[in-house]
Chain A
Amino acid sequence: MIPEIGHFALVLALFVAIVQGVMPIAGATLLKPIWIGLAIPAARLQFVLVALSMICLAYTFAVKDYSVLYVASNSNSQLPLHYRVAALWGGHEGSLLLWAFILNVWTLAVTFFSKGLPALTRARIIGVMGLISIGFLLFLLTVSNPFERLIPAALDGRDLNPLLQDPGMVFHPPMLYMGYVGFSVAFAFAIAALLSGELDATWARWSRPWTILAWLFLTIGIMAGSNWAYYELGWGGWWFWDAVENASFMPWLVGTALLHSLAVTEKRGTFKAWTVLLAITAFSLSLLGTFLVRSGVLTSVHAFATDPERGLFILAFLVIVIGGSLALFAWRASSIVRGGGFSALSRESFLLSNNVLLVVAAASVMLGTLYPLVLDTLNLGKISVGPPYFDAVFAPLMAPAVFLMGIGPLARWKKAELPELVVRLRWAFVVSLLVAGLLPLLLGRWTPMIGLGIFLAFWVFASSLQSLWLRLRLAGVPLIERFKRLTFAWWGMWLAHVGIGVFILGVTIVKGFETETAVRMHPGDVAHLSGYDFVFDGVTKVQGPNYTATQGNFRVNKNERELATIHPQKRLYTVQNMPMTEAGISAGIWSDQYASLGEPLGDGSWSVRIYYKPMVNWIWGGCLLMAIGGGLALSDKRYRIKRKGHQVDGVAA
């Protein structure tokens, strides 16, 4: 009965979404107040219905109702409760329901935190989000219904893929989707502005916090996914340029460009057309990501289903959304009033260059991701484009972007002076050049790539310190006062940029100085790697809730001193009889020591992979700083004042 209620709630939600998508937009054009007034109640009602549907599905998972096909294929009676609930988004149907639900969460948030917007604009925004929702609900109800019954019911479920049975599964997909779907708000703002023809700076001011929030979630989502892959896949990699990773990274790149472009549009009133285009692109790439991951066109660990009907549906949806919004853009572009001019050397021009670099980088990632698919579809052969391609293209595009990132915040709006910039940044430049020359030598290895990486990281740090210094140097004002003058938005930007530096430093050190070895180890054997001794004390058997494991016991020593014990496991998930490797990691600020078990080789010895990963945690630490920067920018006074004026709490909480 419960699954039917969930299904019925989805059907009702579709009707409500149609009302929400059609009436307010039509009403805003024909100026019918009653139609416009439908927007908010419809959006809230739809939220309640989709939430009810989610609860029904979660309940079905929790009570182990294997008469529902989706539940039977994605969980099992032995699965612990938290994974049973997370299994809700472990497969195709459920993750689309999660998509629709999160879209409704964002829409609900818009209904609450948009009281300052003109009624017409607000109606259009909610309408556009309703239209997107129609697409997803139709998709769920026609070709991927999670509530489909299985008759006769299965005795037990087929289990959640053991690879997904990890705490990462509980957080990573919802975070990532919050980011993906969050760009729908910026998209809806852009479409609403195009529909009304009023593309001014207020549009940018309104959509900026929403974009920052979505970007923040996406950053955390990607970070969590990367960290999860690092400890779960057992070969110590943190980014594989896998098509599914690229699918989340492309919207991030364009979303980052959008953030900066919005800042220019808000502050200076220029870049309007470009910003609109970026908002459309960021959301389109989110949809493309969904298409890539969920249609089964890619076969990787993340692809769950192969079903051409679904692929066609998403493709058609994609064409309608992207084609429709671009057509609207083309039609309205002429009405966009040009903003103020700026000199070839100005903060605008730096931001524009960075924007272009980010977009070109996203395009090159897209090319590498889609090219093999296109060739395969056209029967021109099977190829694969691996990490070397992405490294070779991505690094040369991002290096100038990071260099410009150091200059941009110090340049004046409208017109900057080259001599002034040179004076302001010469020390930062010299210091980072020196560090780039010397630090790798101290660490024992200098290559051009390591030198470049260290240079860029320290360039970011030094120029950030310089810009902080310039802000604090105001004469005649006490230091406390000077600190107070710095806005949260500025600190947010500053911290996010420092985060990029931390990230680059981590990547450079890991790539340049990591070591690994695969060895045969008998109990009592010691493996040496980069100054660490890994002592193998044999294996013990461990019993998990739904798996049995052989656990390796290692001591990590350095200079005869025991630093840590690590316990990599070889698990056998009993339901599907599927082996899984669980890495053992001793994590630290300066390095991780990482071991994973290979195979038993008889006589009690095992093949073992051992890694030394210097400063690998800086990679995720950098991402975290970026996210915190986003949070700081969101808590800036101008957003708070606005909210207080309307007696609502912060979205950023």
Chain B
Amino acid sequence: MKLRYKRLGLILGAVALVAVAIGLVLNAFQSNIVFFYTPTQIVNGEVPKETSFRIGGMVLEGSLKRQDDGLTVQFAVTDTVNVVPVTYTGILPDLFKEGKGVVAQGALDSQGRFVASNVLAKHDENYMPPEAAEALKRAKVTQSPAVQPDGSNS
């Protein structure tokens, strides 16, 4: 009889622990999952305000501008259909280049500009970050007027 109680205690203890762990996981998931949006989704206003998310696409040719402090940069990310302006303060990764894939994490400011806290580019010349590839793919599916050469979208 006593052994059975002891076992019951052990099992209850384990169950309680797992429950706590699940609680922790759910809680952490709720606040720490970062969603991904394409430039088109952002332009269409599908992104909730004041949340951190990831944007993916190509760095628009000719869009990279550096401010005088040398550390604040502006560039535009496109999925070939829509364009989102991005601003970032910090040092860009080695493989960040115009016309190449990029993924950035951050949030929109009040003017609809994406303020990046983190810019990711991976270590391979021909590598396309999966999010960037996805953005281009989705844009292709809903093909509509292409981006104007000057970077503005109609």
Contact = CB atoms under 8 A, between A and B. Distances in A.
Interface of A: 161-163, 299-301, 341, 343-344, 352-353, 356-357, 360, 363-364, 367-368, 371, 381-386, 388-389, 392-393, 396-397, 518-520, 576-581, 598-599, 601, 605, 607, 609
24 contacts: A299-B122, A299-B130, A300-B122, A341-B6, A356-B14, A360-B17, A364-B21, A368-B25, A383-B36, A384-B33, A388-B28, A389-B28, A392-B24, A392-B27, A392-B31, A518-B91, A520-B70, A520-B71, A578-B94, A578-B125, A579-B95, A580-B123, A598-B92, A609-B91
Nearest to B56: A382
Contacts of A364: 21, 24-25
A300 to B, nearest CB: 7
A299 B81 CA distance: 25
Contacts of A162: 123
Contacts of B21: 360, 363-364, 393, 397
Which secondary structure characterizes the binding site on chain A? Answer: mixed
B110 interface: no
A598 B119 CA distance: 14
A161 B70 contact: no
A356 B89 CA distance: 44
A519 B89 CA distance: 10
Contact of A607 (B34, B91, B129): B91
Contacts of A580: 94, 123
Contact of B90 (A385, A388, A396, A518): A518
B17 to A, nearest CB: 6
A385 B33 contact: yes
Contact of A384 (B9, B10, B34, B69): B34
Interface of B: 3, 6, 9-10, 13-14, 17-18, 21, 24-25, 27-29, 31-36, 54, 66, 69-71, 89-92, 94-95, 122-125, 127, 129-131, 134
Nearest to B2: A341
Contacts of A382: 35-36, 130-131, 134
A608 to B, nearest CB: 8
Contacts of A163: 123
A386 B34 contact: yes
A99 B27 CA distance: 38
A383 B51 CA distance: 14
Nearest to A577: B125
Nearest to B130: A299
Contacts of A392: 24, 27-28, 31-32
A341 B18 CA distance: 23
Given A364-B21, A393-B25, A520-B70, A599 B91 contact: yes
Contacts of B122: 299-301
B138 to A, nearest CB: 10
Nearest to A367: B25
A161 B123 contact: yes
A161 B126 CA distance: 12
Q: Which of B35, B36, B91: most chain A CB closer than 10 A?
A: B91
A37 to B, nearest CB: 45
Nearest to B36: A382
Q: Name the 10 nearest CB pairs between A and B, nearest first.
A: A598-B91, A520-B70, A392-B28, A389-B32, A382-B36, A388-B32, A601-B70, A579-B94, A360-B21, A389-B28
Contacts of B129: 299
Nearest to A360: B21
A523 to B, nearest CB: 14
Contacts of B32: 385-386, 388-389, 392
A352 B11 CA distance: 12
A597 to B, nearest CB: 9
Given A356-B17, A598-B91, A383 B34 contact: yes
Q: Which of A389, A579, A601: most chain B CB closer than 10 A?
A: A389
B19 to A, nearest CB: 10
A548 B4 CA distance: 72
